[in-house]
Amino acid sequence: MAVLSLRALRNRIRSSQKTQQITKTMQMVAASRLKRSEEKFRQARPYAQKMDEILAHVAQASEELHHPFFEPREVNQSALVVITSDRGLCGAYNTNVISRAERFLSDQNRQTVKMVLIGKKGYDYFRKRSPEILYKDIDMAGKPDFQRISGITQRLIDLYLSHAVDEISIIYSSYRSALSIQPVCQRFLRLQVEPGAERGLYIVEPNIADVLAGFLPLYLTSKMFITLLEAFTAENSARMVAMKTATDNAADMIDRLTLLRNKARQAAITKEILEITTAGEALKG
C-alpha cells in the first residue's frame, strides 16, 4: 500500500466502516429471507415426493403408458431452462449456474438447443450468445408465484407437445444447507417412471388416460414450483454468505487501516518532538 497521509487514512477508515454497515445489514436481510424460503422449501418437498409416488403408482397400474410425456423420441431439438437470480451480490451463484449451462451447450450442438431463461442475470448473459432464446421470465424477485409458475410450465408443455422441442432440461442451484449449494441439471420432459411398485395393486378410475390427462400437468407444475423454491433458497444462502464475507473483509481492512493510522500518528508526534528538541538545542547554542 502506498504511503497515505493521516487524513487519507481516516477517510478510508470511515468509508470502510460505512461499507461494513451496509454489508452487515444486507447479510441480516439475506439471513431472514433464507429462513423463510428454507421453511417453504422444507414444507413443499414432502408434497413433491408424494406426487412422485402417486405417479409411480398410477404408472404401475397399467401395463403400458400411452401418453406423449412418456413416449421415447429422437432428440433433434432440445430446450434448456436456466434459473438464475434477478439481482447480484450473491457471490458465484449465477456464475456457477451459467458455467454449468455452458458445459451443457458444449456437450450438445449449440444450434439444436433453445433457451428458456428465468432470471435477469442469465438473460443478460445469454442474449449476447448464439443459442436461440424462446422466451424469458424476469423480475420474479425470489418470490415464486404459483399462478405465474403454472404459466411457465404450460408454455414448456406446449413446446413439447407441439414437437417444437423433443427434450426439456433444467439447470438450477440445488440447496443442501446454508453452506452447500451446487448447480445441477435435471430432465424435465420426457418423463420416466422409476420401477419398483408392484403391478395390479391399484384401481384407476374412470380410466388411466383421463387420470393422466388431469394429473400430469399438475405434477409438472408442482415439479417446477419446488425447483424454483429450491433455487431461490440457494440464492438467499449464497447472498448471505457473500455479504458475511464482505463484512469480514471490511473488518480486516479497518484493522489494517487503523494500524497504519496509529503508526502515522505516532510518526507525526515523534517528528514534532524532534523538531521541538532540535529547536531547543539550537537556542542553547
| Spatial separation of the C-alpha atoms in residues 274 and 285, rounded to whole Å | 16
- Distance CA(162)–CA(52), nearest Å, equals 25
**Close Cβ partners of 255 (under 8 Å, ≥ 6 residues apart):** none
| Sole residue written with cell 408442482 | 222
Q: Determine which helix (DSSP H) or strand (DSSP E) holds 277, and give its type and residue range.
A: helix 208-284
pLDDT of 285 reads 59
Query: Please, what are the domains in the chain?
Result: 44-192+202-240 (3.40.1380.10)
Give the three cell numbers for residue 226: 419446488
Amino acid at 57: H
Residue 57: per-residue pLDDT: 75
Strand 180-189 with 167-177, pairing? antiparallel
CB 9 within 8 A of CB 153: no
User: What's the distance, Cα to Cα, between the start and end of the chain in Å?
Assistant: 42
The C-alpha cell 458445459 sits at: 103
Query: Quick one: pLDDT at residue 204?
Result: 67
Let me know: does 82 contact 171? Beta carbons within 8 Å.
yes
Per-residue pLDDT of the chain (285 residues; tens, 9 = 90+): 445 777 888 888 899 899 989 999 999 999 998 999 888 888 888 888 888 887 777 766 665 667 788 888 888 889 999 999 988 888 889 999 999 999 998 888 888 889 999 999 999 998 887 778 888 888 887 778 888 889 999 999 999 999 889 899 999 999 988 778 899 999 998 887 665 545 546 666 777 777 777 888 888 999 999 999 999 999 999 999 999 999 999 999 988 888 888 887 887 778 778 777 777 777 775
pLDDT score of 210: 77
| Residue 197, pLDDT score | 47
Q: Which three cell numbers stand for residue 213?
A: 390427462
User: What distance in Å separates the CA atoms of residue 188 and residue 226, rounded to the nearest whole number?
Assistant: 13
